[in-house]
């Protein structure tokens, strides 16, 4: 990455950077990563951002009966991503409400920080029966603080 | 599907309807289809719309050196999709330009036509080396006609 | 398919034939279907064989608390499978015991019946908590009859 | 992992250990990792073993026109793998011939080294047109040495 991106990321507790090595299975016959995989990487980024904020999404589901179900997902593809590339997923909270969470993402190449893709996802907070519920206070407080960074 | 949706689809050469049976592999531990799979189904819909218009995307790549690379993809999720459900992918051309194609999609349940998701993708026309190129005339003419329906 | 394969399949209630159109997402940069997808197609075949035998695997799980968890899976790849090919999955029961089910598979090309791959999977019968259990009698009887064909 | 497994792995240049965090996308509605994903993890292990031996599979394809196409793949599932688990993929060379390579795999849990799955894959050496060819000498020498460890 370019230095300024690195600086931003490292200086901010509200941005997670996770490195992902592109798998052969993720490529298609065009010789690049198939475009639906970017959304899987976004999800990896979300989970790691939560971990960075002190939470386990696994426990959020199992202990707190709190799921964040995707209601909107978007990705803009800026450059092809290739097999064996190391990709950095930068994930941050854009907006946090009691029943709605909005994440933003940037995929950048590890060498040089070229922007490969950017996107966002919107999630509603739901219980295990998929009924809308409020985000428990402990998450809400930390997520809101992270979103304001 | 409700009758009016069916009517629209069947009456229009510019809309393709393809049925997809949800695979076990496409579900996640929330008990519903994982959200990145919707984009794979959109792609299935695109290919079948092209076939309905008289083209094979396979030949478009191999014979005409013409690829349509995704530059923007979005999905809005309206209802959970479950294992073994039969989903109808409705695909249509929203806008066609010499170097840019814009598709729209609706996923509806086969029984009753409940809207499950809707989305759109934007594609640039490229050659095998991923360089932008114009859409060959034979496709352009038919795509434009289909988009105006 | 060649006529004799067709004959076998059509004449036998114990063999299911399901056609699958290869998706772009299933290819890799070698220009062929990535090898883990064959196992997903096997699963599609299993579900359709069950349906042919009068059962819904979905209900087997939800109504009878009966899961068939894979304990062994194998595939031998005979020929590359390519994008947009129509593949026929031939699925049959090899052996059925109270707590163990053994399926066999052949993937053949729709045009000409060339053998593309063959494989088998072994499953234990389990409840929703993944504890081993016996296959309910109604399944056992029909599965055994189908395996003897 | 248990200490003895760790010792074997760390003491041996012929065994690669790669850690993989289970993604939400890799689970299914049974609440465990869907079984075809194990083969994708095996592939990740192969690539990392090659890297450990001083090679890049990416360059093996692009610079040496040398592909290793799967002709046989098998996995025995010993224990369910769950979301967010950290899995260790242990990959080693079982047998190396001029035109055929045989890899072995163990998946073990990071905490405690419980065996989750074990498997093997057989690959033929091929060029970009999928024609069989001999493994270039530089790979053959190193692979054979690694297989004898």
Indicate yes or no: CB of B75 within 8 angstroms of CB of A73.
Answer: yes
Which of D22, D27, D34 should one mutate to test binding to chain B, selecting the residue with the greatest count of B CBs within 10 A?
A: D34
Residue of chain C minimizing CA distance to A28: C28
3-state SS, residue C139:
helix
Instruction: Report ipTM for this prediction.
Output: 0.92
C91 contacts C104 by C-beta, under 8 angstroms: yes
Cross-strand bridge partners of residue B101 = B96, B123
Which of D46, D63, D83 should one mutate to test binding to chain A, selecting the residue with the greatest count of A CBs within 10 A?
A: D83
Which pair of tokens denotes residue A44? 């990896």
Exactly one of B4, B28, B65, B111 is catalytic; which is it?
B28
Nearest to C120 by CA among C81, C71, C80: C71
Q: Structural domain tally of chain D?
A: 1
Burial of B137 (0-12, 13-18, 19+ CB in 10 A): exposed
C133 contacts C126 by C-beta, under 8 angstroms: yes
Which pair of tokens denotes residue C105? 């598979």
C25 contacts C36 by C-beta, under 8 angstroms: no
What secondary structure letter does DSSP report for B130?
Answer: S
Interval C9-18 mean pLDDT: 77
Q: D128: how many CB neighbours lie within 10 A of its CB?
A: 13
pLDDT tens digit sequence for B17-36:
999 999 999 999 999 999 99
Of the CA atoms within 13 Å of residue B10, those in its CB half-sphere come to: 7
pLDDT tens digit sequence for D85-114:
999 999 999 999 999 999 999 999 998 789
For chain A, say whether B103 makes contact (Cβ under 8 Å). Answer: no
Taking the C-alpha atoms of residue B120 and residue C18, their distance in angstroms, rounded to an integer, is 30
Residue with tokens 């010499």: B98
Based on its alpha-carbon atoms, the radius of gyration of chain C, rounded to whole angstroms, reads 16
pLDDT tens digit sequence for A5-23:
333 444 477 999 999 999 9
What length is written for chain D?
Answer: 149
pLDDT of residue A2: 34
Taking the C-alpha atoms of residue A70 and residue B75, their distance in angstroms, rounded to an integer, is 10
- Nearest by CB to D58, which of A47, A58, A83? A83
Interval D51-74 mean pLDDT: 96
Taking the C-alpha atoms of residue D135 and residue C50, their distance in angstroms, rounded to an integer, is 44
Dihedrals phi, psi of B5, to nearest 5 degrees: -65, -45
- Give all chains having 3 or more CB-to-CB distances under 8 Å with chain A: B, C, D
pLDDT of residue D22: 98
- Nearest by CB to A56, which of D40, D44, D84? D84
B82 contacts B20 by C-beta, under 8 angstroms: no
Nearest to A77 by CA among A106, A118, A44, A110: A118
- Nearest by CB to D25, which of B32, B34, B83? B34
pLDDT of residue D6: 39
Average per-residue pLDDT in chain D?
A: 92
Which of C28, C31, C33, C35 should one mutate to test binding to chain D, selecting the residue with the greatest count of D CBs within 10 A?
A: C35
pLDDT tens digit sequence for B32-60:
999 999 999 999 999 999 999 999 999 99
For chain C, say whether A29 makes contact (Cβ under 8 Å). Answer: yes
For chain C, say whether D114 makes contact (Cβ under 8 Å). Answer: no
Average per-residue pLDDT in chain B?
A: 92
First to last CA, chain B: 21
Q: Which helix (H) or strand (E) holds C46?
A: helix C37-52
pLDDT band at D79 (very low <50, low <70, confident <90, very high): very high
CB burial readout B47-60, b (16+ within 10 A) else e:
bbbbbbbebebbeb
Exactly one of C3, C4, C28, C111 is catalytic; which is it?
C28
Q: Among A70-84, B103-117, D8-22, D59-73, which stretch is predicted with the lowest mean pLDDT?
A: D8-22
- The answer, yes or no, to whether residue D67 has pLDDT greater than 70, is yes
Which chain B residues are closer than 8 Å to A30 by Cβ? 67, 69, 130
CATH number at residue C127: 3.10.129.10
pLDDT of residue A56: 97
B117 contacts B107 by C-beta, under 8 angstroms: yes
- Give residue A15's domain range: 5-147
Cross-strand bridge partners of residue C109 = C87
DSSP one-letter string for C52-121: HTT--HHHHHHTT--EEEEEEEEEEE-S---TT-EEEEEEEEEEE-SSEEEEEEEEEETTT--EEEEEEE
Taking the C-alpha atoms of residue D101 and residue B72, their distance in angstroms, rounded to an integer, is 41
Residue of chain A minimizing CA distance to C27: A28
- The answer, yes or no, to whether residue B5 has pLDDT greater than 70, is no
Indicate yes or no: CB of D40 within 8 angstroms of CB of A57.
Answer: no
pLDDT of residue D126: 96
Exactly one of A3, A4, A28, A72 is catalytic; which is it?
A28
Which chain B residues are closer than 8 Å to D27 by Cβ? 28-29
A7 contacts A17 by C-beta, under 8 angstroms: no
Which chain B residues are closer than 8 Å to A41 by Cβ? none
The shares of helix, strand and coil residues in chain D, as percent rounded to the nearest 5, are 30, 35, 35
Taking the C-alpha atoms of residue B78 and residue A14, their distance in angstroms, rounded to an integer, is 29
pLDDT tens digit sequence for C70-120:
999 999 999 999 999 999 999 999 999 999 999 999 999 998 789 999 999
- Nearest by CB to B25, which of D32, D36, D83? D36
pLDDT of residue B13: 77
pLDDT of residue A112: 79
- Give all chains having 3 or more CB-to-CB distances under 8 Å with chain D: A, B, C
Provide the H-helix boundaries in A25-136: 37-52, 57-62
How far B11 CA sits from the closest chain A CA (Å)? 30
- For chain A, residues with pLDDT lower than 70 are 1-11
Average per-residue pLDDT in chain C?
A: 92
Indicate yes or no: CB of B58 within 8 angstroms of CB of C23.
Answer: no
Q: Has D111 been annotated as catalytic?
A: no
Burial of C4 (0-12, 13-18, 19+ CB in 10 A): exposed
pLDDT more than 90, % of chain D: 85
- From chain B residues 115-134, the ones with a CB under 8 A of any chain A CB are 130
């Amino acid at each position: 990455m370019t230095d300024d991106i690195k600086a931003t990321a490292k200086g901010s507790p509200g941005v997670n950077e996770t490195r992902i090595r592109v798998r052969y299975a993720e490529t298609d016959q065009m010789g690049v990563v198939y475009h639906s995989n970017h959304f899987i990487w976004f999800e990896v980024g979300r989970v790691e951002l939560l971990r960075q904020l002190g939470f386990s999404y696994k426990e959020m589901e199992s202990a707190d009966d709190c799921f964040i179900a995707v209601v909107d997902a978007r990705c803009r593809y800026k450059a092809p991503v290739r097999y064996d590339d190391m990709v950095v997923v930068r994930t941050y909270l854009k907006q946090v409400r009691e029943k709605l969470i909005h994440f933003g993402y940037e995929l950048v190449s590890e060498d040089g920080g070229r922007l490969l893709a950017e996107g966002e996802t919107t999630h509603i907070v739901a219980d295990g029966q998929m009924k809308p519920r409020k985000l428990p206070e402990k998450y809400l407080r930390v997520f809101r603080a992270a979103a304001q960074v």
